[in-house]
């Protein structure tokens, strides 16, 4: 983990009509760091990731990438800056094969002029390698992606983002719909991505998934930031209490 954060959102707020969906929230993601974003429904998690992934722009506050102020005007803009978001619906085409999904919209080509074609051999080879690197085993990348388990599909989406140069990976509730074994597989992908120096923002409301893997924990409550804590500063039980609002100190932290 390096000292310079790759992605920062500093004091960002977002209002819809007169309601603050997010108020004065700060989050920093360093290379090789797993930041867990926790909070109940309506806490502002999705608004924050929409800001980080360029879907919406903050009304106040700034977003910085590599220390420079930026304006992420669109998801493509964010993607070009190395911010990759894996949404819950994963943006995959169920009837298409794994490797075709892997390269969807960014197909490697071979040949010349009008005979230019999709380099399927290379696409399969790269997809297989990238999946193996993340510890994903899929017997045949030509299999329709819809035939994979939820965890495997999630893994393919992560591997795709990593392959296309993600510096920060935002995962929106990657484990929420999964069984224990599948969730563990996805968390293992996250660990491997982190070990490769990728910063990860993990959105979840499952403390058991978040605590073992997270380095930093940002807890949101009704659009405000309750806490931003390093792992050394709290136990799993404290984190759980914080999330459910049972903690004594469950007030907006003053030390952002």
Partner 1 sequence: MPSQSDTSRKSSGARTSLRALLTRPESTAIAGTIAVFVFFAIFTGSAGFLSLAMTRNYLEVAATIGIIAAPITLLLVAGEFDLSVGSTVAASQVLTSYLIVHAHWFPVFAILTTFVVAVLIGLGNAYLVVKTRLPSFIITLATLFIVRGATQGALRMLTGTSIVNGVRAAAAHSPAVWLFSTPVGPFQVSLFWWVLITALCAWVLQKTSFGNWILATGGNQAAAVRTGIPVETVKTILFVTTAVAAALVGVLDIFAINQGDANSAVGREFEVVTAAVIGGALITGGYGSPVGTFFGALLFGMVDQGFFFTPLPDVWFMSFLGIMLLLAVLINNYTRNLALKPARRS
User: Given the rule CB under 8 A, which residues bind partner 1?
Assistant: 75-76, 87, 89-96, 100, 103-107, 109, 116-118, 120, 139-140, 142-144, 146-149
The least CB distance from residue 70 to partner 1, in Å, is 20
The least CB distance from residue 150 to partner 1, in Å, is 10
Nearer to partner 1, 76 or 244 (CB): 76
Q: What angle do CA 66, 69, 72 make, to 5 degrees?
A: 95
Nearer to partner 1, 4 or 76 (CB): 76
Query: How many Cα atoms are found within 13 Å in the side-chain-facing hemisphere of 54?
Result: 19
Nearer to partner 1, 143 or 256 (CB): 143
Nearer to partner 1, 94 or 249 (CB): 94
Q: How far apart are CA 198 and CA 254, in angstroms?
A: 29
Confirm if 175 and 185 have CB atoms less than 8 A apart. no
Residue 179 has what DSSP assignment?
A: -
Nearer to partner 1, 53 or 189 (CB): 53
The least CB distance from residue 245 to partner 1, in Å, is 35
Sign of the CA dihedral with 248 first, then 253, 7, and 221 last: positive
Q: How far apart are CA 123 and CA 129, in angstroms?
A: 10
- Angle between the N-to-C axes of helices 150-163 and 180-195, in degrees from 0 to 180, rounded to the nearest 10: 10
The least CB distance from residue 9 to partner 1, in Å, is 22
**What does the block give as tokens for 185?**
């597989």
The least CB distance from residue 217 to partner 1, in Å, is 29
For residue 205, give the nearest of 38, 46, 49 by alpha carbon: 38
């Amino acid at each position: 983990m390096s000292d310079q954060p790759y992605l920062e959102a500093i004091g960002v707020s977002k209002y819809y009509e007169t309601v603050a969906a997010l108020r004065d929230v700060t989050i920093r993601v360093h290379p090789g760091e797993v930041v867990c974003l926790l909070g109940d429904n309506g806490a502002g998690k999705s608004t924050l990731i929409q800001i980080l992934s360029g879907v919406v722009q903050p009304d106040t506050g700034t977003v910085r990438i590599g220390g420079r102020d930026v304006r992420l005007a669109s998801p493509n803009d964010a993607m070009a800056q190395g911010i990759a978001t894996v949404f819950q619906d994963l943006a995959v085409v169920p009837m298409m094969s794994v490797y075709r999904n892997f390269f969807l919209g960014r197909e490697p080509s071979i040949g010349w002029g009008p005979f230019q074609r999709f380099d399927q051999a290379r696409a399969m080879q790269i997809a297989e390698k990238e999946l193996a690197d993340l510890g994903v085993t899929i017997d045949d990348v030509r299999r329709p992606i819809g035939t994979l388990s939820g965890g495997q599909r999630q893994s393919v989406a992560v591997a795709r983002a990593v392959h296309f140069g993600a510096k920060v990976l935002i995962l929106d509730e990657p484990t929420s719909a999964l069984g224990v074994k599948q969730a563990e597989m996805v968390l293992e992908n996250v660990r491997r991505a982190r070990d490769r120096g990728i910063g990860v923002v993990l959105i979840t409301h499952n403390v058991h998934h978040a605590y073992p893997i997270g380095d930093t924990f940002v807890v949101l409550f009704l659009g405000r930031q309750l806490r931003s804590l390093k792992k050394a500063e709290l136990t799993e039980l404290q984190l759980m209490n914080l999330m459910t609002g049972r903690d004594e100190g469950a007030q907006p932290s003053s030390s952002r």
